[in-house]
Amino acid sequence: MRMTHLLAFAAPLALLLPLSAQAAWPKDLKAQYMAQCVPAAAQSIPEKDAKAHCACGADKIEKNFTTAQIKELMSPQGAKNPQLQQDALNAIAQCKASPKPQ
């Protein structure tokens, strides 16, 4: 009987585990990301679009990576993890941006 109660308690928690991958940006790192992303993106798209593109990218990172992964991506050590970088680029690639008219 106790096992049934334990199982009834644990089952909903197990369903919440995928939600734990969604992490909040660590303090000040989202602002740092935006400060780096917007000027880089604005070289090829209008600044207004660059801000929207970077905000979309920040949201994708927040939804697809843990806090620890976000910290690693934004740290100098993040360059030492090419798979994590590629995963982040793949997530950000879902954000579409149109090039600047020439």
List, for residues 8-59, the tens digit of each pLDDT value: 333 343 333 344 456 789 989 999 999 999 999 999 999 999 999 999 999 9
Q: How much is the pTM? A: 0.71
String of DSSP letters for the chain: -HHHHHHHHHHHHHHHGGGGG--PPPTTHHHHHHHHHHHHHTTTS-HHHHHHHHHHHHHHHHHHS-HHHHHHHHSGGGGG-HHHHHHHHHHHTTS--PPPP-
Q: Which residue has the higher pLDDT, 57 or 77?
A: 57
